[in-house]
Amino acid sequence: MADAHGHLLFACGSSLYGVPADTASEVVNVPALTRVPGAPSHLLGVFAHRGEVLPVVDLSRLTGKPLEDTARRAVVVRTPRGAVALTATRVLGVSTLEGSFDRLGESGVHQHLRGPAHAEQGEVAVIDTQTFVEFLASAG
């Protein structure tokens, strides 16, 4: 099955992720972060960006694949429930995906990842951005 809309693809460590291109507002360099007391470990901190506070979510920690190095860039995703910046070690651009869009798990973050989808660059986990942000709010 192919999706009708493009996805912004990015890597976090050895894993590839995709978000619907219309939810990805920009790619930013991650500045010095302000830590938040009591925040879960996948929430690296926050920074002020264009008059709002964006939380930076480390996908590698969230999915249990911690990186040796810190990602320096992040993809900003906007949904009606809020915006988050997702760490990225590489940004690969917008692509049309094929393959499966089934849930990759029944619990935790994996129920908000879909796939396995396929792009030229390899297998992609597609982030269901709407439910993903709701999950972050409940897990925060």
Partner 1 sequence: MTVTASDHISGLVLCHAGGQRLAIPAQEVDAFEPAGEAARYAGAAFESDARAPADAKVLRHRELTLSVDRVEVFATPVPRLAVPSALSSSWGGALVCFVECAGELWPVVSLERLARGDGEAAR
Positions that interact with partner 1 (CB under 8 A): 34-41, 43, 46-48, 51-55, 57, 81-84, 133, 136-138, 140
Chain Cα centroid distance, residue 130: 11
Least Å distance between CB 22 and partner 1?
19
- Phi-psi label, residue 20: left if phi above 0, alpha if psi -120 to 50, beta otherwise: beta
Give whichever of 48 and 94 is closer to partner 1, judged by the CB atom.
48
Least Å distance between CB 50 and partner 1?
11
Give whichever of 1 and 51 is closer to partner 1, judged by the CB atom.
51
Give whichever of 27 and 36 is closer to partner 1, judged by the CB atom.
36
